[in-house]
Structure 1
């Protein structure tokens, strides 16, 4: 993930500052989404305090360049280790039980979404869909059968 971030910044002549790197590493190390204040707390220590406003600035940069995604329903962030096209819709499956998040794209959903927004005369700036429920591992653990 860091290699991708470094390469992207080099190709676009962007600065990959120490704070941006630290924020990305912190998010990538977690299996669950993290909020800015949690990230700031994690980065603070050893006599230094990282302000949440600085973390938000780093998150804005990382989000703008597709290195992290914001999960709006959680006001939290997850890392992204792969490239997305500008028009790729993202689908996040959010487990209410364990808090895990799976990211995927679906050409069928993207096609339907394209059709719906075109019919509405709407031009989206973001194409992110969040679906809450229970993941397969939690359903299995709780003894539920798959549907």
Structure 2
């Protein structure tokens, strides 16, 4: 992402927090910024290292709490198979996300709206849905 698109995504995240009555703390905002700046999925301990410029730095629970918060708002996705995180700047009004992860370069593309609604058990309320596809992206395949 460019610095302009990261700034726009952070501003949108701030607005989303205001709309939902949530608080975007400096640590949460910094974690989101680091995830958005990453060109590939980032692990929590890599984020922790980036938050450690001096004494009294963030501890693992701080990073995991920030990531949990950001996931609850749909601002980041966890790639379960990699135990890593990617930023999300899309609305999830159309349903869950499908993530296409390139095994060569690590690029992650997010697609929305292709998951078929209505194929769930009666009475089941989906709170979070992410489908992960692993393969080779178009750039690496050529």
Could you tell me the TM-score, scaled by structure 1's length?
Answer: 0.83
Is 2:92 the counterpart of 1:89?
A: no
Structure-to-structure mapping, 1:61-80, within 5 angstroms = 61-80=69-88
The answer to whether the aligner puts 1:45 opposite 2:53 as a matched pair is yes
Aligned partner of residue 81 in structure 2, secondary structure: helix
| Secondary structure in structure 1 of the residue aligned to 2:86 | strand
Unaligned 5+ runs, structure 1: 141-147
- In structure 2, distance between residues paired with 1:115 and 1:10: 31
Q: Deviations over 1:14-60 (max 9, x none)?
A: 11101000100000000111111110011111334221110000001
Which of 135, 138, 141 is residue 139 of structure 1 equivalent to? 141
1:88, CA displacement in angstroms?
0.6
When Rg is computed on C-alpha atoms for both structures, the one with the higher figure is 1
Count of residue pairs brought into register by the alignment: 133
* CA offset digits 1:104-136 (Å, max 9, x no partner): 1243xx22xx35434xx5834432110000001
TM-aligned CA deviation for residue 89 of structure 1: 2.2
Question: d(CA) in 2 for partners of 1:106 and 1:58?
Answer: 27
Structure 1 residues 105 and 41: CA distance shift in structure 2, 3 A: same
- How large is the Cα RMSD of the aligned pairs? 1.7
Considering fraction of residues, name the structure with more helix: 1
Of residues 104, 112, 132, the one that matches 1:130 is 132
Unaligned 5+ segments in structure 2 are 1-8
